[in-house]
Amino acid sequence: MIFRGIIVVSKQKLQLKDNFYFDIEKKELFDESKLIPLTNKERAIFSLLSSNSKLTFTYQEIIINAWSEYDEYGGIDSLKTIIKNLRKKLPKDTIKNIFGIGYKLENT
């Protein structure tokens, strides 16, 4: 898109390793053009992590973001299980555990 001589690039896709990408607007994960199904919690967690790959999100921040006020809040064990399942759907080492703190996205 060009606006008054300035090229505006919309960041709608987050490019990941191995031809994977995350459509930020639709919150969908793709391996090239193949849609990879995500659960609601996986989608919420990955959306949060992809919102800023320079940040490490604490376990508590992730739990608060992924579980709505209507859900029973999950604990660390629930979060770790969802992260484990999400990692199986992503290129290796996309989600990094920062011991004792939380998780961050490693997309390069």
Return the domain boundaries, the chain: 2-105
Entry pTM: 0.82
pLDDT digit string (tens) for 13-70?
888 989 899 998 899 999 988 999 999 999 999 999 998 888 999 999 999 888 865 5
- Rounded Cα distance between 100 and 10, Å, is 35
- Candidates 2.40.30.10, 1.10.287.3510, 3.40.228.10, 1.10.10.10; correct CATH number of 2-105? 1.10.10.10
Contacting residues for 45 by C-beta, under 8 A, at least 6 apart: 62, 65, 66, 79, 82, 83, 86
CA Rg value for the chain? 15
Tokens for 102, please give them. Answer: 């939380």
